Chain A
């Protein structure tokens, strides 16, 4: 229905015809409504619309795997084609959540794999997936599966991948980026190459899997449609034949330069003609020229895992005027970002990761500050996503971002704690200006240091949160009062992460109750009450509260990498759930609930 909201009288008149609109027509109309929020609104009109929405819904994202029961999902959406599930809190990506915390895929696969007859795409993020889970999935859906995305998952091995490779011949997307996979041999890739002829995307980037270049070449030969390959490290000189065969390849990452200083070995490498997304590991000053012949065509460049100096970054980026996506470490420096601002007018996504903190090891100039961010804001006005670790920042830089980057959808800023002096704190006015001007923002993250943002600034964030649905805030605010004022303004916030803040349990509880759309909150670093009972002030129907006490040093949990979770501060997780309390909590997670 176009134009303005119809007058009540006209709507009433339209309603008199409602009984005559056949279900088939409503089916067709629903099929064209794709926005999940519109779908949700439509399903609430009446029972009939609810039923028709359920039958026509093709994709569902369960934003937190403990928010609903698998059986309920199956009952409501019997014709689902695509399902996304998210598991552990985001903090797991940083080693803050032990691996045995939960988020098991088994209940979902057991319940859904067989009955959902239309299911052909499954996306799991930060979940625990076992070989048995994948076997069950393959047994039930192997013949139908077109997309399997396991994103930062743990718990399975290459045995499961062999099963997928052998049985899922219609697979177009196999995505395993940053998963922790037990390597029991490279046969899985050979099986995939032999059995699949329709693969478009293969991603096992940042896994440690070993593969044979010959299998990659075979894959390229059999899958003419292969457009994207992101792999674990493999010497680039071993991929010459693969590149010759993979004619359609556009997106490649994971090739590595193993012999520093030996350029002759890599001179023969010739990239496929359509390549425009690239990430190479261990590329240094001497290896850079490999990129120069086709740098004009590059749309995405991933330099996070390189050995480049600031000067090297300047040289490369100056040759890449068509970049849409750039990912770097903060070694790029302000000078490099000035080159970005001058050169990359089409840039949409910029990620500046935190590099090495030890400057002695190699030349790592100053890092990123307001100078670089301002240059990027002024020069790259199409930016939709900025994530930056900075050493210094000013209100003016944030104001510039607000002024020039009107399309910003996702903004994340971390002020590193290495530098003692920061030019311009608190950042209240800069944050206010950014939020007021970037009205399209949906995600916002701000991690500062004590004094980085006052209660006034926190109040501004709430007041101008607009349509922001996700926030991460660290070291912000001065008192409980600031948190309450923040919460009063957040009408659309669904997911909140707070770290290292000074708020009391009581304030956290009151804030939760103030935010009408909040479904999920994760907190680490707060002022515990003497009884610990103030967290129960947020108790309400369908709201689960889980407390993880601080762990004694001797009680550290081990991650699968064998590295201890060094962080031992208490955590609170609270979320809406139709599934009731978790039944699979590890011993060290304590559900809180009124007696």
Chain B
């Protein structure tokens, strides 16, 4: 058994190692080292906890057993999961953190003496507030992440579910939670504690169902943030520095990512949270006009010819590429182009994919070197000087309407200036609008050649035609 002061020092060290883990991610070179720091930090935290309790009875063996079971499941998932499914995986993992926070809060409530929080029915007020907040946020994270998981997985429709008085209900439930926590502090009644948790589960569901599929990057980041605040709440209850530091780090990390995602869609955070965006209501009107406008379409041969005669090509990948699993074929195509001394780069919009940075991971998986992949602001000026833009599986993020039509729901959103290229190759299955439900003006431009096909099939055909 080690002293409380010593263990607190070690918890501080693991907190610092977690900071270094995030710091490492500032560049791909240092990132692997950063991840290693994170693992060491976690290892220290767990070992110190064992030592500070100093109880190596049968219970300890069970702890190890459950740790190994959980670890094996986690490791299995980590190795098996395809990179396209990362958003679901992260949403699923968030739900586990949330539920773990709820469980720890429950055990602390049922056995407060084990945590030095007083005795049953006589828990310190401050601890009671902290653990209720931790449990409430954890429960919201859990049920919210489950809904996000189901939506991302396609088990539940991505369309927003809205009903009258929804926001009023959420507000009412939020206030109810605060009142219940207040009366819980006065009465110490376990029924109130359970009610807080149940209502929080409900709030989590209600909070996520009105948010449409296109806003999933924001939802995941937001839930990431919540899972951090839940951990911090529990950290205060347990008076544990490692948890408090980590909770604050994760909480602010998720909040920043949400902010970046909202900004990349030119939407306010509240606009996303209040939801209802990305439904079908907008499509009907646009569909009528669409049929009248002429569209130039071509085949793989035309595309290969255009690219062969270009001196620079910019690839604009989107989630559609991931769905079609076209990233490997794409990389093959790029290799061929490079052999012909054509300069190729990739342009990635911040909200491409279903979570922040998702497209970068998919390209990295297809062995695309990360120094050929550029962010929106770094590459947007290059479109004007390039010969061909190859848009594969992206849509809304290339729509010039965002710059020209103040009436459009996506007006003001930063978009890639694809139309400034000499010619645009647009791989898409049909002319249907993207998630935002807005018709893409780019389809009807003179310099756009539509390639109607499955992204993978088309790319493979182009590869054949490049020989």
- Chain B associates with chain A: no
